[in-house]
Structure 1
Amino acid sequence: MKRWIKRTLVGLFGAAVVVGGLTACSRGHHGSWSDEGVAEVRTKVVSKITRKLDLNAAQQQKLDALANEIVAQRTAFRGEGGDPRVEIPALIQGDKFDRVRAQAMLDQKTQAIQGNGPKVLTALADFYDSLSAEQQKEVRELQERRRGWFRGH
């Protein structure tokens, strides 16, 4: 496998770790997240990753940048619309599926991913590339175990 393909796959997998961590930390929370709730979870996840990988200051700065990009992506993805648990059922309130509204929702989500996705990938690549070989190995091992940082092990 070509090196750039391998790096891209590892990078995307690493993004899944961070996003998975934010998602895993959401267990036990119900309803929409406030900005304060998101900031609290972000801080906890960054602290846990920092401890687990024993990051130096430069690496932690890159992790902070990655976390900021993920939060920005989340905000852009949610968009101006309301709670998806309200928006999606609204599509079937009438006697016909609201195709126009559904397409508008899809367009907004797609634009958010296309607009912010490259920034998230760049921040993830910068963070991963800043890790030592041993730290990268630890990330891969955590991924292989699928339990990683977020299940208390």
Structure 2
Amino acid sequence: MFNTPRDSHETLDPPRPVRHFRRLAALGALTGCGHRYDHHGWNGDPSAHAEMRGKMIERISRRLDLNEEQKKRLTVLADRMQEQRAALHGSGGEPREEMRKLVAGDKFDRARAQALVGEKTAAVNTKSPEVIAALGDFYDSLDAKQQA
């Protein structure tokens, strides 16, 4: 299935799908999880968010040498990922505060914990098809060199 190194000093690159997954996971980390806890960056005001998002798109565009159509698809992907992130955050309060509430009493609030999991799962189930479609459209627009 996979080639093995001929000697102990030779290493092989991971299979192509693994490399792609790593790159896409990094993109997801940049757009979906990249934030600071001091309310700057992704959690900051909308103008700071737009500035960071623009810089991220430009950095990826330069690295992959994207054309205008590909940049548009990347922008749509970033939009969908941000929408999913917003849905995961939900209308609830600060995530740390939600966790504190679970352990505030003398017993762990299992019902509320299960409700939080249900809310997050519903957000992922609702928004993931849009993210996957945007990711597929972006990836499929890349040429072989950009995909490598």
Normalization by structure 2: what TM-score? 0.77
Q: Which residue of 1 aligns with 2:121?
A: 110
Choose between structure 1 and 2: higher helix proportion: 1
Asked if 1:51 corresponds to 2:62, the answer is: yes
Q: Which residue of 2 aligns with 1:38?
A: 49
Checking the alignment, whether the CA contact within 8 Å between 2:32 and 2:81 is kept in structure 1 is no
Once the two structures are superposed, what CA deviation does each residue of 1:55-108 show, in whole Å capped at 9, x if it has no partner?
A: 101101100110000000000000011111111011000011111111111111
**Does 1 or 2 have the higher relative contact order (CA < 8 Å, sep 6+)?**
1
Q: How does 1:1-12 map to 2 (within 5 A)?
A: 12=21
Checking the alignment, whether the CA contact within 8 Å between 1:22 and 1:41 is kept in structure 2 is no
Cα distance in 2 for partners of 1:118, 1:86 equals 30
Identity of aligned residues (%): 42
Deviates more, 1:47-56 or 1:37-46: 37-46
Once the two structures are superposed, what CA deviation does each residue of 1:11-58 show, in whole Å capped at 9, x if it has no partner?
A: 65443121222368535x524713523323221111100111111011
Larger Rg: 2
Unaligned 5+ runs, structure 2: 2-14
Q: Which one of the candidate residues 20, 23, 26 is aligned to 1:17?
A: 26
Deviates more, 1:50-59 or 1:33-42: 33-42
Checking the alignment, whether the CA contact within 8 Å between 1:66 and 1:127 is kept in structure 2 is yes
Cα distance in 2 for partners of 1:61, 1:136 equals 17
Q: Which residue of 2 aligns with 1:71?
A: 82
